[in-house]
A and B are shown apart, each in its own frame.
Chain A
């Protein structure tokens, strides 16, 4: 499970980042390995650290992570419990800000953004897929998919059109008016994927996307991810299941808050069952 053991510490976090303008943030810097944030590299982190204060004791969840992820990559982030993969995912997903280090997302310096700016980035740049789907239980599939567009300020008609289109992409256009409890687990996760894609995000960020699904449905979801990856969508997936991670083109393994290994695969599913 990816449950974060530092949950209570997150609640008590109070550090706020000062406002900085977009112009300042889009300054191009040299990223590790010569990667510069911007057109080619959708994610660049430099010395990313995240510490939690747990009753006087400082817990270092991330101890300086340097990462660079290209546009159109299909990446899996793995690691045992407490390795910091959930913390990293929260940072990448702009749900949290680092204690130290820089995080560039699509050319924007996200590590020093204010709450409202982070909300805007989550809305426009990131599509979340969660283990527990996180659909609004009382809303129809269509309305769930519309939700990011509501906060993007898209008009009602345009919202409906785009949400329908996103549901068509995951072959759920015949289930638009169903509520989550009228859908199977796989269908729910496909609604969540449609919701993640509806605002054309830079990255699709999946946290244990198959954690609550049986193996057959997991394969079905993985096929959706595969299709998205081949059509040019950047996909970042956090998982602890090796056979799920094996679908990705690149596997990053975290251990004790640091990158332990970063492996690229030239061929799909070339080495099943490693690590």
Chain B
């Protein structure tokens, strides 16, 4: 009997016993559903991080110079933390000397960022992401303005009290009004709103539109960097090839300024989006491992259910097996018939599970801040997994069926 014949026969059998077949494949279906949902969410998160998080928060071809890294989520030991506290702060004069050695074409800006309460006469006080930056910050971050204008280099030099806000800030503090020309107060100081940045969306439920950017020389520095240092300095090269050169130039000049001997480690941090990504890659691996372990238990239960049902099917169809054997079916023909049947059941379950899993991922993405993106590889992987589960589960029942004695099988009622 050919393989195709066996598949046709299996689906005929499934069709005849719809309800029983449905309950049989329920276990595999649920297992695959959760597997697909988990993988989709992890995949969605990583895609998000790679495309949006890296692009929006860190920027491509961008490196950041700061006192210490803040990208190490909870992985610091006390010794590391102490070392971090002993580091000297980063100051304007150092930044200017670094900027001087950067290759031409590099865009750079000071970026002092903190959360601070803002207020206006129209809206109640609310926390915003206050940023002190230079005029080049808008080019560097590729912020487009929906209304108004960004602040100019002259305004930075003068320390003018002007501010550019994100859409969320604009709508909260100036509901139904044109924010341009109005007054926003941060840390007690009044700023004139001169522009609104177009909507940026959100990352992991964290809004990118709660921005308020003022010149770093303006009184906002009392909020963002009360000690008068520079929180971070961002530089963007026009192409990825230049990034390392620019970083090494910066490192060289910084080490010189800090009088570090070759044996001493850097007492400042130079980060790229890549270094943040490597942390996420590690996290993603852990998430996939834990996230798939639970549905895998579902699959094992599913396999046991299929094995049980197939054993019942073999008992029920003993006479049919006897007839087939009498008409010339070999052991391997019977074996194949039952294996294909259990694999078909399982693959069918997996297929339904894939659809439900994709649906579930979509629903989770819609109602929670977690993103979801179906990983293409997870679909053939789930189908293969389903087939594997079915074959493993069918092995014992099929082998029992193939070993039935035709005479005894034919006599069964």
- Chain A positions within 8 Å of B, measured between CB atoms, are 3-4, 7, 10-11, 13, 90, 93, 95-96, 115-116, 119-120, 122-124, 128, 130, 134-136, 138, 147-148, 150-153, 195, 199
Q: Given A95-B406, A138-B16, A150-B1, is A3 in contact with B411 using a C-beta cutoff of 8 Å?
A: yes
In the complex, whether B410 has a CB less than 8 A from a CB of chain A is: yes
Contact B405 A147 (CB under 8 A): no
Residue B216, interface by CB 8 Å = no
Which of chain B's residues have a CB closer than 8 A to the CB of A95?
A: 325-326, 406-407, 410
How many angstroms from the CA of A163 to the CA of B20 in the assembled complex?
A: 32
Asked if residues A11 and B323 are in contact (CB atoms below 8 Å), the reply is no
B407 A151 Cβ-Cβ under 8 A: no
Among A3, A11, A122, A153, the residue within 8 A (CB) of B327 is A122
In the assembled complex, the Cα of A10 lies from the Cα of B404 at a distance in Å of 11
The residue from B323, B324, B332, B411 contacting A4, defined by CB atoms under 8 A apart? B411
Residue of B nearest to A115 (CB): B331
Contact with A along B30-73 (1 / 0, CB 8 A): 00000000000000000000000000000000000000000000
Q: How far is the CA of A136 from the CA of B332 in the complex (A)?
A: 20
Q: Does B245 contact A (CB under 8 A)?
A: no
Complex interface bits, B299-321 against A, C-beta within 8 A gives 1, otherwise 0: 00000000000000000000110
Report the bound CA distance from A152 to B410 in whole Å: 21
Main SS class of interface, A: helix
* 18 A-B interface contacts by CB (under 8 A): A7-B411, A10-B408, A95-B326, A115-B331, A116-B332, A119-B325, A119-B329, A122-B327, A124-B328, A134-B322, A136-B320, A136-B323, A147-B323, A147-B327, A150-B1, A150-B5, A151-B324, A153-B2
Chain B nearest CB from A202 CB (Å) reads 13
Task: Kindly state whether residue B333 has any CB partner on chain A within 8 Å.
Answer: yes
CB distance from A141 to the nearest CB of B (A): 14
> B177 to chain A: closest CB distance in Å?
75
For B2, the chain A residues whose CB sits under 8 A away are 153
A151, B408: Cβ atoms under 8 Å?
Answer: no
Shortest B105–chain A CB gap in Å is 70
Given contacts A4-B411, A130-B410, A134-B323, contact A13 B329 (CB under 8 A): no
Q: Which chain A positions have C-beta within 8 A of B410? A: 95, 130, 134
As a 0/1 sequence over residues 1 to 18 of chain B, the CB contacts with chain A under 8 angstroms (1 = contact) are 110010000001000100
Q: Is the CB of A151 within 8 A of B323?
A: no
Q: Is the interface of B mostly helix, strand, loop or mixed?
A: helix
* Bound: A96/B408 CA distance, A: 11
**Cβ–Cβ contact A128 & B407, under 8 A:** no
Name the residue of chain A whose CB is nearest to the CB of B319: A134
Residue B92 CB within 8 A of the other chain: no
Q: Hey, which chain B residues are within 8 Å of A153, CB to CB?
A: 2
Do B411 and A122 have beta carbons less than 8 Å apart? no
On chain B, the residues within 8 Å of A120 by CB distance are 328, 330
Determine if B330 and A119 form an interchain contact, defined as CB atoms under 8 angstroms apart: yes
**A151 and B406 contacting across the interface, CB-CB below 8 Å:** no
Known: A134-B319, A136-B320. A148 touches B408 (CB 8 A): no
- List of 5 A-B pairs having minimum Cβ-Cβ separation, nearest first: A123-B328, A151-B328, A119-B330, A148-B327, A134-B323
Q: How far is the CA of A96 from the CA of B405 in the complex (A)?
A: 9
Which residues of the other chain, B, contact A3 by a CB distance below 8 angstroms? 411
Residues of A within 8 A of B319 (CB): 134
Q: Which residues in A have their C-beta under 8 angstroms from that of B16?
A: 138
Q: Say yes or no: B333 contacts A151, CB within 8 Å.
A: yes
B327 and A123 contacting across the interface, CB-CB below 8 Å: yes
Q: Which residue of A lies closest to B402 (CB)?
A: A115
Closest to B411 in A: A7
**Residues of chain A with a CB closer than 8 A to B328's CB:** 119-120, 122-124, 148, 151-152, 199
Residues A10 and B407 in contact in the complex (CB < 8 Å), given A138-B16, A151-B333: yes
Q: Nearest-CB distance from B226 to chain A (Å)? A: 83
Do A116 and B330 have beta carbons less than 8 Å apart? Answer: yes
Our pick among A90, A124, A147 for the contact of B407 (Cβ within 8 Å) is A90
Instruction: List the B residue with the shortest CB-CB distance to A117.
Output: B330
Q: How far is the CA of A150 from the CA of B411 in the complex (A)?
A: 23
| Chain B min CB distance to A150 (Å) | 5
A51 to chain B, nearest CB (A): 15
Known pairs A116-B331, A119-B330, A120-B330 / 16 extra A-B pairs, C-beta < 8 Å:
A4-B407, A10-B405, A10-B408, A11-B405, A95-B326, A95-B406, A95-B410, A119-B331, A119-B333, A122-B325, A134-B410, A136-B323, A138-B16, A148-B327, A151-B327, A151-B328
Closest chain B CB from A85 CB (angstroms): 14
Q: State the CA gap A123–B320 with chains docked (Å).
A: 16
In the bound complex, CA of A252 to CA of B353 (Å): 62
Q: Give CA–CA (A147, B337) in the complex, Å.
A: 14
B5: nearest chain-A partner, CB-CB: A150
Instruction: Please state if B326 and A134 are interface contacts (CB–CB under 8 Å).
Output: yes
- Which interface residue of B12, B326, B327 has the most chain A CB atoms within 10 A? B327
B390 to chain A minimum Cβ distance, whole angstroms, is 22
- B324 — which chain A residues lie within 8 A by C-beta? 147, 151
Known contacts A11-B408, A90-B407; decide if A128 and B327 are in contact (CB<8 Å).
Answer: yes
Q: Tell me the bound Cα distance from A263 to B407 in angstroms.
A: 29
Q: What's the minimum C-beta distance from B224 to chain A, rounded to whole angstroms?
A: 78
C-alpha spacing A20/B324, complex, angstroms: 24
Query: Which B residues are CB-close (under 8 A) to A150?
Result: 1, 5
Question: B1 contacts A151, CB within 8 Å?
Answer: yes
Report A-chain residues with C-beta under 8 Å of the C-beta of B331: 115-116, 119
When the two chains form the complex, which single residue of B325, B329, B332, B408 contacts A7, counting CB atoms closer than 8 Å?
B408
B330-346 CB contact bits vs A (8 Å, 1 = yes)? 11110000000000000
For B322, the chain A residues whose CB sits under 8 A away are 134
Q: How far is the CA of A199 from the CA of B327 in the complex (A)?
A: 10
Chain B neighbourhood of A13, CB < 8 A:
405
**Distance (whole angstroms) from the CB of B367 to the closest CB of chain A:** 46
Contacts known (A10-B407, A11-B405); A115 close to B330, Cβ less than 8 A: yes
CA distance A120 to B331 in the complex (A): 11
CB distance from A273 to the nearest CB of B (A): 31
Least CB distance from A123 to B in Å reads 2
- Chain A residues lying within 8 Å of B411, measured Cβ to Cβ, are 3-4, 7
Min CB distance, A212 to chain B, in Å?
Answer: 13
